[in-house]
Structure 1
């Protein structure tokens, strides 16, 4: 097995002279997180709630250790190599026995790390070095996108000319949202609301209470639930107290999407809505829509430092179509156990920049040219997230965050590591 990604990380990332890369801490954190810890203890595939997510966390831990091997020595690095082989073997040909073997190696590695913690105090320090403009093999542009610090001015112009605020507060239909919290978020400066149709009435009341000029608001609505006709769209708009700016088609039942998309296009053509988008679609799935999805101007997908969209070609393929990309799941990566806001690498950047880890991650996505859709139930979290507009990440920190994917999903392909979005066997097949 080759660990080119680890070599790339330590060879090409440049940070300021006083910065340290917390590789050991990241490994320890990944081995203790949620299902990562529980599945290592359980050791049996069928006894784990999220076995694939656990193995991905183990892989991240081991990749961090092997990257740290360049700077220090220890018995744990030899065990890390054997653990990497066991994990790679499981990804190459998954079965219950190989999962158990990997879990046993991970448990032993975790015990060894806890015993040798005092020996790991010499953290690797990285000095200024030449930066590979390709960005650690990750297809992200490193040029900084200029973003106004004022919330109202931080917008993205969609292909059809509609101006959309970069930061969106998602208000889902799971439970009843707090009217006062939504109103407070608007008063703080939120100007883009992504709304489930089932909560349109509460959101409309919050808009009225906030006294914000409705003309300054951008509202996108998910085409789901009872929303299935022009009459229902008019009803939702009436509850909101303003027209719907964008309709978003979530990924759903195969075969039904084309029919729904034709309906959305008719609504747009009749000027019932300004623009259209999709959620959780790959570029290939957009191709399968009528007219090859030519009307798609906005695509929302899970995007974190560990998994840049449904595939590594997503950025390029949607970019060629001039489709705006929006990140969701950026702060949690739910349901996987590694929460990006708790990652020692991200926390170290937050400390260096004097910002929170959430602000660092949102700013990273914004500077890559993404819009960001976030969930927040508390006013303090909304205020914190909006604060991502008030600073800029240095190029080296941008490249460091973008490079984390090479630890989460080591390259090149064919080294025993399957792509995290490849089809996987179900538990009954193992």
Structure 2
């Protein structure tokens, strides 16, 4: 395990002095990640788990009625069918020869699902779902009791392009690490804890108690927003915690696009509610109704930045195009973007198959903060129950939430998990006493290809085909 003279990190030993130094992120990765690894990958279990989800079943009759999100249901079917074809493709050749007709039917439903995404109509959905349900019902018992697929994943990459980890990133992996020990230096030199406490959907006394508990156990980064309606409770919790202001990293957002042209007044009101005279980071919650309103808001933020009332500027829910437009006129560029980040949607709410926002952020020296890491939205597959994730959690002897948040951190991003439960708040803080190996990172990073690929095209194009979907049946 560990000794006082060294810290075990995956397959290598780092001296304690080295762990606490500010190191190039690539140097840390070279130490953390080891050689090729063997995995038992639950393709069959993931396939039937997804097909049996209530929100998938509710769309068996087609769009409308109880089918609230047909596109998400079809995306789930694509995930299920890709898992099924990989489970079958890895069978011994003798078994595949015995079940040639079944393999042909699986190829057929994969093609029908692909047809829906080329022409999304009620008719193409009905054909794809009807035939898929028949095949999955016929193979249900086999999938439930099938052994996991043994695979070897190499150690050349972690599957996804690394995000910009700031000019330095301290990401400890030892038993004595505290949440505040993990920091990133933003492009303008400001130090930011990479673990924040998110407060979305926390209101009133519940928000106050949860935020106060987070601060008491070591969180030093708190994220709120105008739209959350809880800045006063966050401010009250910060005051009750009694911590010196310079030890905290307070973040808020301007959420109402109608106030983009009146940012100064809203900012002053937010400071009063948060009981502070400056914010460590302030951002626009969305691109806004027009480029001109975004420009007006950004110029006001730049003035507040020059006055020292905002230490760093950022944005949320911006894609590559919106960032490109912003950078055309920004005198003070954003150093931070807060976007949806999960194993199914890494970096944007809808995955761009051709261009990686992660590579773009790295090029522009912008740090990613991932939100809703464990939330199915905008899809319907719950990552905490996904057999791929639960198998990895069992392998690491960690919770699924811890594994998923650590995965994001090791890609170079920050995370802001939220919870009203003291136990979950404490669980989410324990991300810095373990690490994921290269193979483990590669497996988790490859899950998005199971969501986005079709029989004729592996997607996204900017990610490694970790599961060899392109070579499948």
Please confirm whether the aligned pair reaches a TM-score higher than 0.5, indicating the same fold. Answer: yes
| Residue matched to 2:397 | 354
Deviations 1:322-350 (A, max 9, x none): 00011112111313111111111111111
Q: Is the 8 A contact 1:76 1:113 kept in 2?
A: no
> What is the CA-CA distance between 1:80 and the residue it aligns to?
2.0
Deviations 1:182-238 (A, max 9, x none): 111110111111112332221111112223332211011111247944344233223
| Residue matched to 1:178 | 207
| Residue matched to 2:148 | 123
- DSSP 3-state at the match of 1:66: helix
- DSSP 3-state at the match of 2:384: helix
| Residue matched to 1:261 | 298
Of 332, 352, 358, the match for 1:315: 358
- Which residues of 2 match residues 15-414 of structure 1 at below 5 A? 16-17=37-38, 19-40=39-60, 42-44=61-63, 48-72=67-91, 73=96, 74=99, 76-117=102-143, 120-127=145-152, 130-131=154-155, 133-136=156-159, 138-140=160-162, 147-148=171-172, 149-172=177-200, 175-176=203-204, 177-197=206-226, 198-225=229-256, 228-242=262-276, 243-251=278-286, 252-255=288-291, 256-289=293-326, 291-293=328-330, 295-310=333-348, 311=352, 312-410=355-453
CA distance in structure 2 between the aligned counterparts of 1:416 and 1:97, rounded to whole angstroms? 25
Q: Is the 8 A contact 1:147 1:389 kept in 2?
A: yes
CA distance in structure 2 between the aligned counterparts of 1:388 and 1:418, rounded to whole angstroms? 28
Deviations 1:109-157 (A, max 9, x none): 2211224347x53332224x644x3555x43479997512321221111
CA shift in 2, pair 1:219/1:371, >3 Å: same
Cα RMSD of the aligned pairs, angstroms, is: 2.8
CA distance in structure 1 between the aligned counterparts of 2:396 and 2:402, rounded to whole angstroms? 10
> What is the CA-CA distance between 1:63 and the residue it aligns to?
0.5
CA distance in structure 1 between the aligned counterparts of 2:397 and 2:201, rounded to whole angstroms? 35
CA distance in structure 1 between the aligned counterparts of 2:72 and 2:132, rounded to whole angstroms? 14
Q: Is the 8 A contact 2:47 2:83 kept in 1?
A: yes
- DSSP 3-state at the match of 1:39: coil
CA shift in 2, pair 1:418/1:403, >3 Å: closer
> What is the CA-CA distance between 1:290 and the residue it aligns to?
6.1
CA shift in 2, pair 1:174/1:216, >3 Å: closer
> What is the CA-CA distance between 1:403 and the residue it aligns to?
1.0
CA distance in structure 2 between the aligned counterparts of 1:155 and 1:182, rounded to whole angstroms? 20
> What is the CA-CA distance between 1:291 and the residue it aligns to?
3.7
CA distance in structure 2 between the aligned counterparts of 1:147 and 1:64, rounded to whole angstroms? 33
| Residue matched to 1:4 | none
CA distance in structure 2 between the aligned counterparts of 1:65 and 1:279, rounded to whole angstroms? 36
> What is the CA-CA distance between 1:173 and the residue it aligns to?
6.2
The gaps in structure 1 that reach 5 residues or longer are 1-13, 420-430
| Residue matched to 2:467 | none
Give the length in aligned residue pairs. 400
